[in-house]
């Protein structure tokens, strides 16, 4: 009892400044302001920084009595937070002053700030704490409970696909970083680390700050009992994202560029070549996948993301030099937060399996799928608004279920017509300038290693490399190059 009273007294001694960053977020802003005013532990002051909103966000904040600092829309998120901090008077007690960073599309539960403060006062070494983040529209869907980054730049949460909150992440865990949405950071540490990197205007700035805090010897935790609801308006393209040096303002380009930046700016110098190679190969692989999916714009984003760093390395070099000033520990302390490759591979397979399985399920009713929860009582989760389970009638056959999926049904019809139309091509393709495909992969290998080839009057020229590659690829079809070539052209059709 005495310990709880001591913790409560320490929580009351903490001075919290809430920094609310807005940009055309009027859709969610009224709920955000309501959630801040309903906190059981009220912040000592609230400062809003608006980056060029044109939708009435400034008027809404002014009517709520919140002072607003106006900036250009070209100002990034990190600059907005830094501007608000620069307006604050000097800290009276640097150990008890905190900054609570809030996005204009995230509403904290009414106990969120109190739970965050309880966790940090019990752990003096902690400088950054973040809440468990749930979805704005589906408030049982866990978005993040701490965040990390993989070796190829993927944002890693360690959560299952569409994982629902059942209290499994309610503990206080040490993590690499927490989202900037709802981040509670000690003001003295924020100023010591220089705040968010100005080179990261949006996306991955939170991972970078958490990484630097760990290297500087500070603790970063996720407090599972502190809850925040996030709409993720920028990453889900619910609002436009301006990307410097890019014509198309897609968040993918900015996210991939910043992911590569974080890895290259923070990794040890001796591992940089390996990190750069992984990023390049991953970017090329994703570009090929996007091209096969007939999404050339996203494929170009992947290449441009790496190209922006290669052809404009000045920011990267400057950031690496700056990081040396606050580096206390070696980069090995970060290794514990980087997910092993086996876990990444298993998660990827599970996501693909889930996507394929869900694709063949009957579609959800559009009227039901658009139903959202009422948020008038921020911080109270009404169990009656749990995600609706759509039960398929047993009378529907799998064929009728498939017909409800326009994409898959159309793909099936096209595939059937393609097979029927090209049925006479099954086997060895020949004619025109096409050479006759050999009967087996071993035939190709023998021709490749042979010193004399029966072409025309005969030739001693070396065989082309594609023969060996085709022989290896035809192992998929039990060593039959004819079937492999047929399937290859069939898929391209």
Percent of the chain with pLDDT over 70: 78
What is residue 7's predicted lDDT score, i.e. its pLDDT? 82
What is residue 298's predicted lDDT score, i.e. its pLDDT? 79
What is residue 437's predicted lDDT score, i.e. its pLDDT? 63
Residue 150: alpha-carbon gap to chain centroid: 11
Cα–Cα distance list, 98 to 47, 121, 147, 391 (Å)? 13, 11, 21, 48
Name the pTM for this structure.
Answer: 0.71
CA distance 390 to 363: 9
Asked whether residue 401 carries a pLDDT value surpassing 80, the answer given is no
Percent of the chain with pLDDT over 90: 38
What is residue 391's predicted lDDT score, i.e. its pLDDT? 36
Q: Which neighbouring-strand residues pair with 149? A: 155
CA distance 209 to 220: 10
Asked whether residue 81 carries a pLDDT value surpassing 90, the answer given is yes
What is residue 333's predicted lDDT score, i.e. its pLDDT? 87
Mean pLDDT: which of 69-78, 209-218, 260-269, 407-416 is highest?
209-218
What is residue 306's predicted lDDT score, i.e. its pLDDT? 80
Asked whether residue 137 carries a pLDDT value surpassing 50, the answer given is yes
What average pLDDT does the segment 49-74 reach?
92
Q: Which ranges of 203-340 does DSSP label H, i.e. alpha helix?
A: 205-215, 251-266, 272-292, 296-311, 314-323, 332-335
CA distance 67 to 51: 14
What is residue 42's predicted lDDT score, i.e. its pLDDT? 95
What average pLDDT does the segment 367-375 reach?
41
Asked whether residue 365 carries a pLDDT value surpassing 50, the answer given is no
What is residue 450's predicted lDDT score, i.e. its pLDDT? 82
Quick one: pLDDT band at residue 390, thresholds 50, 70, 90? very low
Question: Which residue do the tokens 């060593």 mark?
Answer: 479
Inter-residue contact 159 to 250 (CB < 8 Å): no
DSSP H or E segment with residue 139: none
Least confident span in 62-71, 73-82, 171-180: 73-82
Count CB atoms within 10 A of the CB of residue 157. 18
Asked whether residue 397 carries a pLDDT value surpassing 60, the answer given is no
- 2-350 classified as CATH 3.90.550.10: yes
What is residue 386's predicted lDDT score, i.e. its pLDDT? 39
CA distance 359 to 299: 23
User: For the chain, which residues make up each domain, given as ranges?
Assistant: 2-350, 422-492
DSSP H or E segment with residue 228: strand 219-230
Tokens (6 digits) for 93: 């007690």
Inter-residue contact 111 to 119 (CB < 8 Å): no
pLDDT tens figures, 306-361: 877 777 788 888 888 888 887 778 778 888 999 888 887 787 777 767 666 665 55
φ, ψ (nearest 5 deg) of residue 421: -70, -35
What is residue 36's predicted lDDT score, i.e. its pLDDT? 96
Residues near 277 by Cβ (< 8 Å), separated by ≥ 6? none
Residues near 74 by Cβ (< 8 Å), separated by ≥ 6? 51, 52, 242
Least confident span in 199-208, 308-317, 350-359, 444-453: 350-359
| Mean of pLDDT over the chain | 80
More confident residue, 422 or 42: 42
Asked whether residue 396 carries a pLDDT value surpassing 50, the answer given is no
Cα angle 50-56-59, degrees, rounded to a multiple of 5: 75
CA distance 403 to 134: 33
What is residue 33's predicted lDDT score, i.e. its pLDDT? 96
What is residue 380's predicted lDDT score, i.e. its pLDDT? 37
What is residue 178's predicted lDDT score, i.e. its pLDDT? 96
Quick one: pLDDT band at residue 372, thresholds 50, 70, 90? very low
More confident residue, 219 or 448: 219
pLDDT tens figures, 10-34: 888 999 999 999 999 999 999 999 9
């Amino acid at each position: 009892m005495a310990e709880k009273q001591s913790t409560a007294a320490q929580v009351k001694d903490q001075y919290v400044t809430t920094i609310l960053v807005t940009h055309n977020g009027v859709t969610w802003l009224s709920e955000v302001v309501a959630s801040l005013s309903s906190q059981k532990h009220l912040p000592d002051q609230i400062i809003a920084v608006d980056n060029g909103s044109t939708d009435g966000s400034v008027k809404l904040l002014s009517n709520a009595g919140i002072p607003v600092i106006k900036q250009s829309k070209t100002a990034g998120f990190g600059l907005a937070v830094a501007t608000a901090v620069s307006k604050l008077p000097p800290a009276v007690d640097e150990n008890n002053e905190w900054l609570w960073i809030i996005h204009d599309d995230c509403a904290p539960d009414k106990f969120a700030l109190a739970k965050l403060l309880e966790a940090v006062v019990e752990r003096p070494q902690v400088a950054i704490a973040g809440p468990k983040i749930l979805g704005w529209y589906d408030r049982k869907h866990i978005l993040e409970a701490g965040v990390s980054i993989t070796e190829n730049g993927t944002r890693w949460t360690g959560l299952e696909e569409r994982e629902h909150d059942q209290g499994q992440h309610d503990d206080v865990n040490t993590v690499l970083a927490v989202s900037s949405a709802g981040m509670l950071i000690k003001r003295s540490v924020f100023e010591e680390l220089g705040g968010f990197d100005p080179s990261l205007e949006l996306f991955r700035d939170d991972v970078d700050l958490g990484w630097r805090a760990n290297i500087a010897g500070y603790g970063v935790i996720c407090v599972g009992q502190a809850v925040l609801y996030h709409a993720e308006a920028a990453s889900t393209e619910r609002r436009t994202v301006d990307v410097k040096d890019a014509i198309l303002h897609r968040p993918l380009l900015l996210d991939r560029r910043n992911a590569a930046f974080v890895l290259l700016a923070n990794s040890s110098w001796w591992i940089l070549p390996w990190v750069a190679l992984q990023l390049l190969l991953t970017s090329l692989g994703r570009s090929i996948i996007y091209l096969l999916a007939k999404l050339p714009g996203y494929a170009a984003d992947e290449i441009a993301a790496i190209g922006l760093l290669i052809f404009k390395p000045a920011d990267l070099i400057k950031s690496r030099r700056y990081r040396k000033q606050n580096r206390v520990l070696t980069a090995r302390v970060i290794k514990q937060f980087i997910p092993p490759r086996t876990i990444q591979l298993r998660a990827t397979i599970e996501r693909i399996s889930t996507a394929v399985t869900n694709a063949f399920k009957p579609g959800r009713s559009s009227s039901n799928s658009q139903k959202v929860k009422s948020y008038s009582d921020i911080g109270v989760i009404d169990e009656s608004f749990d995600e609706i389970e759509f039960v398929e009638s047993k009378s529907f056959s799998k064929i009728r279920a498939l017909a409800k999926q326009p994409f898959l049904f159309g793909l099936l019809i096209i595939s059937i017509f393609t097979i029927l139309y090209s049925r006479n091509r099954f086997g060895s393709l020949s004619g025109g300038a096409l050479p006759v495909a050999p009967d087996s992969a071993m035939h190709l290998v023998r021709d490749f290693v042979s010193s004399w080839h029966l072409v025309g009057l005969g030739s001693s020229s070396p065989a082309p490399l594609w023969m060996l590659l085709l022989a290896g690829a035809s192992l998929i079809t039990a060593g039959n190059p004819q079937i492999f070539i047929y399937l290859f052209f069939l898929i391209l059709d």
